[in-house]
Amino acid sequence: MSRVGRKLFMFGGYDGEKCFNDIDILDLDTMSWISPQVQGSLPMARNAHTMTVLGTKLYLFGGHSGNKHLKDLHVFDTETLTWTEPQIYGSSPKGLRGHTANLIGTKVYLFGGYDGRGRSLKKIIPSNDLYVLNTENMHWSHPLEFEKAPAGRQRHTACVIGTKQLFIFGGFDGCKWLNDICILDIGRLEQNEINHQAVTSLIGNMRTLINNQTFADVIFVVEQKPIYGHKAILAT
């Protein structure tokens, strides 16, 4: 359930027999339920998904249809009551259920969940992956590593404190229920990403100097063939 203004929006769910893809609205002023007529491409019925609020829009991701784990992303405009399925870029998560998705700035931070791993071995192996959706360009990124990553888990909770910290509590690791608290430092994660991009850019720039006659200030002759170099490369 997600709040936008004075209304609570509820989507999907499971009643013990089947999943739903209805959206219902609770008006907090009148305490009455509304079943609106919606427009656009309606998402598949599901449960155990997330719905993250950004302004007047709801970002729906993942869940389980009753038959499979889902990895689709849908956006619901609460003003026009319209569903859209935007074009997605980058490294999107696998189909997940029981994950969390929290908004920090204009980015959605998705952590954990279960994608079916271990099912053939009659085990549950939850994920401890972190994915980040930039809602400005609908681009998923997957930070390769972050310090002190929590154990894999599903059905946990997560809460944003301040503007740069994500608190993760509890959940199920496949064998037992957890009662630990893990803190993800978003500020440090962002700085690591900036540093990684800077190094990648530097390596790319230095590669343009390798055997490039235009920028060369050193020439070697090997087997009567010139090889162009640059002092900046040789110094490293």
Dist. CA 121–CA 113, nearest whole Å: 18
| pLDDT tens sequence across 191-208 | 656 554 555 555 555 566
Tell me if 113 sits within 8 A of 171, measured CB to CB.
Answer: no
Mean pLDDT (whole number) for 49-73: 97
Query: Which DSSP state fits 43?
Result: P
Domains of the chain: 1-86 (no CATH), 90-207 (2.120.10.80)
Mean pLDDT (whole number) for 109-114: 96
| pLDDT score of 21 | 96
Dist. CA 71–CA 185, nearest whole Å: 26
Cα–chain center distance at 193: 15
Residue 216 binned pLDDT confidence (cut-offs 50, 70, 90): low
Tell me if 40 sits within 8 A of 60, measured CB to CB.
Answer: no
Is pLDDT of 136 > 90? yes
Dist. CA 54–CA 3, nearest whole Å: 10
| pLDDT tens sequence across 65-91 | 999 999 999 999 999 999 999 999 998
